[in-house]
Amino acid sequence: MRAVIVAAAVAFIISLFGTPVAIRVFTALKAGQPIRSIGLASNQGKKGTPTMGGVVFIVATVFAYVAGHIALTTLPERQIAQEGPTMTALVLLGLFVFCGAVGFFDDFLKVRKRNSDGLSAKGKLLGQAIVSAGFGIAALYVPSTNGQTVASEHISLIRDISWLDVGKVGAVMVIVFVVTAMSNGVNLTDGLDGLATGASILVLGAYALIGFWQYRHWCADDAYGRVNDYCYQVRDPLEIAIIAAAAAAACVGFLWWNTSPARIFMGDVGALGLGGLIGGLAVVTRTTLLSIMIGGLFVIITTTWVIQIVSFRTTGRRVFRMVPLHHHFELAGWSEVNIVVRFWIVAGVCVAVGLGLFYSDFLAVVG
C-alpha cells in the first residue's frame, strides 16, 4: 500500500508544479489550441490556450511508477516483486506513452498548420491500431518471469470467462478494439474544461482499487492463493495499482490548472494516452467487458456520436443538436460548468456501479 501512496504522491507533485512550467513553455512556443470556425461561438474565446498539456501527466506517471517500484522493492512486498520493471508495467506504460505519441503528432500538426486539421481520422486510427497491436502481442506472446502472460486469451468480465477462448490472434484483435475504442472515447469526451480529466480520475481511481484488491487476493501470493479458490489469476496486480494510482494523481494535479477557465488543454496527446492506458488496465485486470460500465461516460459519449453519424448519413437528420454529447447540452442552454459537473456525476455513478459489480462477484464466489 505504501508503494501505491508513494507513486500517487510523486505523480501529484510533479503534475501540480510541472503544469505551470508546461504552460509557460507551450505558450512561448505558440502551441495554442486551434478552434474550428464552425464550432460553438462560446468556444472561440478559448482559441490560443496552450495545448499538449497531457505530456505533463504522462511524464509524471512514468517517474512516479519508478518511484513506486523502488519503494516496492524496499518493502516486505519485495518477495513477490522483481528488481526491474515487470512486463505488465511495460505494457501499460507503453500504451500510455505511445498512444500519447500518436496524439502528440496530431497536436503538432494542428499547431503547425494553425487550424484544427491534424492527422486524418484514418491516420489516427491506424496509429492507434499499430500501437495497441504491438503491445497486445507483447502482452500475449512474451511471458513474464513466472511464465504467465500479461493478457489472457479469454474474453473477460470480472474474471476470464472460461468458455470464451478466442485464441491469441483473436485476443490481440480484442485488445486492439478495446484500446482504440477507449482511446477515442476519452478523446471525444475532451471538449470542455476539465471534463475528460475529471472523468479519467474517477476511472483510473477505480482501477487502482481493483488492482490493489486483486493484489490482496492474488493467486501468486503464497499466503493467500494456495489456500483459497477465489483468488485472482492476474499478473503483477500491485504494479497495476501503482500505475493506475499514479496516473489518477497526476490528473488531479493537472486538473488544478485545467478547470474552467482552463489555462492549458491536455490535447490529443493526453486524451489518446489516457484512453490507451484505461483500455490497457481493463485488459490486464481481466475486466474487459466490465470496463463498459466503469468507463460508462466515455461509452455513452462515443455511442451518441456513432448514432448521430449513422443517422445523418442514412436519413439526413440529426438526433442531437451537436456531437459530442456535451455540445448538445451547450446548445440547449446549459453552462459549461454545469455540464462538466453533471457529466462527472454520471461518470461517478458508472464507476460506483462497476465497482459494485466487481465486489459482488467476489462476495458471490466467497459465499
Binding positions for Mg(2+)? 187, 268
Helix axes 195-216, 267-284, angle to 10 degrees: 20
- Integer-rounded Cα Rg, in Å, for the chain is 20
On whether the CB atoms of residues 72 and 83 are closer than 8 A, the answer is: no
**CA-to-CA distance for 214 and 158, rounded, in angstroms?**
11
- Segment holding 161, helix H or strand E: strand 160-165
**Binding site, annotated residues:** 187, 268
What ranges in the chain are assigned the alpha helix state H?
A: 2-28, 54-73, 87-113, 121-141, 167-189, 195-216, 237-258, 267-284, 291-294, 296-315, 325-331, 336-366
Q: Among residues 341, 293, 304, 310, which one has the least CA distance to residue 157? A: 293
Task: End-to-end CA distance of the chain: give it in Å, rounded.
Answer: 27
User: Which amino acid belongs to residue 112?
Assistant: R
The set of cell numbers assigned to 352 is 460506483
- Segment holding 160, helix H or strand E: strand 160-165
3-state secondary structure of 50: strand
The set of cell numbers assigned to 161 is 470467462
On whether the CB atoms of residues 277 and 92 are closer than 8 A, the answer is: yes
Taken in order 52, 119, 180, 320, the sign of the CA dihedral is positive
Contacts of 124 (CB under 8 A, 6+ apart): 102, 106, 118, 272
**CA-to-CA distance for 143 and 247, rounded, in angstroms?**
25
